[in-house]
Structure 1
């Protein structure tokens, strides 16, 4: 199973560009960045969002009905979704099946996997450590992992925005199989067998290895496990009772299993990609986290804005990557003046999305335990919300 299709797609694109372009043209195409996202674009009145006030009335009924209609259309086993809407409150649902073949139903106690949305949290903890003077974005990888190629030139900042040049460990297809638990050290060994893709800072390529290393740096600098850092720095202060880091010894009974296209459930170890994709939660807690992050309750707003200054183009049209945060610009996709700020995640058997919709000022979190378009589901939910 692939942890993310981003890396392979981008490497294919990069290879094609290299074969047909000169050095300068390659750099111009790959590193042509999006204009920075301004503080005004992600400005909102936090008091307008009552995340403890459940939505009632016709809008709730319309959103619930929309989810019901989407099940047969998308052939999705289960879903957790939540919307925080200014002046309206919280809509949420967790429904369907944790395991469709077993007819094991999802309910309010269930948690879903969020894959690479984890990176949004990992990057935030790195920001906190920088603000506390325990780290610098300019610190070099060699300080902790000198065995990596060009470790003396690779910075924390480059690990955050995927310009380090490190190859991604998830080229090994067996890492999620339950037959063997791959430790972070196993993943580092896999990563060390691969050559760097390019000199640090020269191009862009999505690397789960970079975020694995960031999580291990957090462990060393913060003097506690990555899971405990997430709990103490994010989950506890924000009262996010469902949000946690999976570990090999901590697999909750209410975790939704991923599903293949034929509807069969898979038994996979989502704890493997430490810091890159090992968070589970319900949708409400994820939406609440993003609200707190963009509002300056986790790190200062100026730090959040700085993460959206250097935005590198991703393989999918209209998508750009900052420091542990994504921008989707619909002006480049549909021609409509709208943007999403947040992060997506996915495997061959799971898809997740956590975004702030700039136009409607709605926070939206969606995770589905199958490889379906959470983007299309999200657009539909936002459309319904905008009509009422």
Structure 2
């Protein structure tokens, strides 16, 4: 189990990258290792801990995709169903047509639907949002391409997937995630908060943001308490490093989905204009590191919290990283650069005898 290389990158992330605090947890067949650097609270100086809960952003999408695939396995829906079948009249206008978009295209981001998260003005216009309002923001923009002809990362796809889960089951998507994934795996620190739950329950570090301003001296804001409604099924969940490693380990090992749905989830398409070296499946992605090693998992970002969970394709070696800030400096453009270096420290050549792809 490699730990010293990872620890050195964590310390550089604070000393050179300027992040307040960072943590990483690694697990394999031999056990768990936890490392951290910096602080979880800049006022008290409290260190980050293995129990820290944090907002996981788009890693939420993996949970939602897993629920949809479980419903497909139960013959409650088909990945080839149109969005119009389950959400009639919702996807219309500006070149969008729910009759031509399938459930699979929502999950692998080949729908052509604009991501509502790219409309910053619309997201600043209200205090809170319903899922349908988020969809409407996305649909107010023209379709980027014909469904199935290209790839474009869009959080609107997963708001629609969340609505679809609720339509099919008649229950809140948060309850479906809890019953199907959280409770069976005993993920004690994982949940999708309800609309009026702005605090993080349980132990957690503070979350800090510079609002993505590039100036090293930009003002820092504390966004630990945050309205979750602009994120919901596309990025609203809260979890821990231990829980994420356990979830992705189970997912990669095929313990959450039957074989047919497992193959569908991990059948990838090339990405475009996204994270270099990635290919996207259904709520998961492969990431080929600069050293040539390929790992599998997902990343997520929300104001004040960036996270990565990646590991070997067999799920036996998993690594989760979180920084309680959304900026980096000292040669890193953003926390993704830090995370890439952490992954290379653990999964790079010399640390594993076999190809992990």
Q: TM-score, normalised by structure 1?
A: 0.75
Match of 1:278 in 2: 236
Distance 2:89 2:279 in 1: 30
The answer to whether residue 269 in structure 2 is matched with residue 311 in structure 1 is yes
Count of residue pairs the alignment pairs up? 326
The answer to whether residue 286 in structure 2 is matched with residue 327 in structure 1 is yes
Distance 1:385 1:136 in 2: 43
RMSD: 2.9
Query: Of residues 213, 220, 245 in structure 2, which corresponds to 1:264?
Result: 220
Match of 2:319 in 1: 364
Match of 2:345 in 1: 380
Indicate conservation of the 8 Å contact 1:350/1:369, yes or no.
yes
Output one character per residue of 1:17-73: Cα deviation in whole Å (capped at 9) or x when no partner.
Answer: xxxxxxxxxxxxxxxxxxxxxxxxxxxxxxxxxxxxxx8xxx657755653454212
The answer to whether residue 124 in structure 2 is matched with residue 184 in structure 1 is no
Output one character per residue of 1:223-271: Cα deviation in whole Å (capped at 9) or x when no partner.
Answer: 2111111111111000100011122322225444132254723324344
The answer to whether residue 72 in structure 2 is matched with residue 117 in structure 1 is no
Match of 1:244 in 2: 191
The answer to whether residue 15 in structure 2 is matched with residue 72 in structure 1 is yes
Does the residue aligned with 2:340 lie in a helix, a strand or coil? helix
Output one character per residue of 1:163-196: Cα deviation in whole Å (capped at 9) or x when no partner.
Answer: 1111111123257669712221221221232221
Normalized per residue, the structure richer in helix is 1
Does the residue aligned with 1:305 lie in a helix, a strand or coil? helix
When residues 308 and 272 of structure 1 are mapped into structure 2, their CA distance, relative to the original with a 3 A threshold, is: same
Larger CA deviation: 136-145 vs 370-379: 370-379
Indicate conservation of the 8 Å contact 2:152/2:271, yes or no.
no
Indicate conservation of the 8 Å contact 1:80/1:282, yes or no.
no
> Matches of residues 95-244 of structure 1 in structure 2 within 5 Å?
96-101=38-43, 103=45, 105-143=47-85, 144-149=87-92, 150-173=97-120, 180-244=127-191
The answer to whether residue 256 in structure 2 is matched with residue 298 in structure 1 is yes
C-alpha deviation, 1:350, in angstroms: 3.1
Query: Which sections of structure 2, spanning at least 5 residues, go unmatched?
Result: 211-215, 327-334
Distance 1:168 1:147 in 2: 15
When residues 61 and 162 of structure 1 are mapped into structure 2, their CA distance, relative to the original with a 3 A threshold, is: closer
When residues 319 and 286 of structure 1 are mapped into structure 2, their CA distance, relative to the original with a 3 A threshold, is: same
Distance 2:228 2:19 in 1: 19
Indicate conservation of the 8 Å contact 1:340/1:356, yes or no.
yes
Distance 1:179 1:151 in 2: 27
Match of 1:52 in 2: none
Indicate conservation of the 8 Å contact 2:59/2:299, yes or no.
yes
When residues 264 and 220 of structure 1 are mapped into structure 2, their CA distance, relative to the original with a 3 A threshold, is: same
